[in-house]
Structure 1
């Protein structure tokens, strides 16, 4: 049990460490020691490092339909699997998320398809 707790503590994010420190301080009167502060610094350094690493999962966001709105609606329908009305609503309510959690290759392929017909797409 203690080993599992230790493993969970080691894998906390900076936000979670801060929340834990606040709970310990407010509810139990325990001030964070320097080891907690060091752990926060290590976690923040790890987050900065992971942010620098290349992103592999993206959301595809339609920013502009360009001049050929009908073509964009058709492509949105094809890509999302939604009906014609839902696809039109996505195109009419820009910016809109077309797909979430897409791998890098698929996201770039879809972005290229939309750009070929004059639409503007952002990968986040």
Structure 2
């Protein structure tokens, strides 16, 4: 008997599966496991992503603003590169100035750049 039932279930059309799911839900309060599971997983994944805060950042120069010379000097200071290399970074925007730094340092550097009119993105 179980084998026949299994064979009948396997041979159902998509429409018949939908009708079966509706009937099971309406008459018996049974929802298909896969749809409940995927909804639960989606909700949990969203909550985990909201809770997980990024802690490592790259500093990207998006604009030097009006004070290009000040930005070049600051780039030179934080990167340890020479004047010519620092100027090239500022001239070729967007430029990654520092990679893999912690949140506090990234925010401090971003504030320094913004004080002199530069636009910084943290990624």
TM-score between the two structures when normalised by the length of structure 2? 0.61
Secondary structure of 1:112's aligned partner? helix
The number of aligned residues is 86
Shift in alpha-carbon separation, 1:86–1:56, aligned structure 2, 3 A: same
Stretches of structure 2 that go unaligned for 5 or more consecutive residues are 1-36
Matched, 1:71 2:96: no
Aligned Cα RMSD in Å? 2.2
Bigger CA radius of gyration: 2
- Partner Cα distance (1:96, 1:47) in 2: 33
Matched, 1:116 2:115: yes
Shift in alpha-carbon separation, 1:48–1:71, aligned structure 2, 3 A: same
Stretches of structure 1 that go unaligned for 5 or more consecutive residues are 1-37
| CA shift for structure 1 position 51 | 3.7
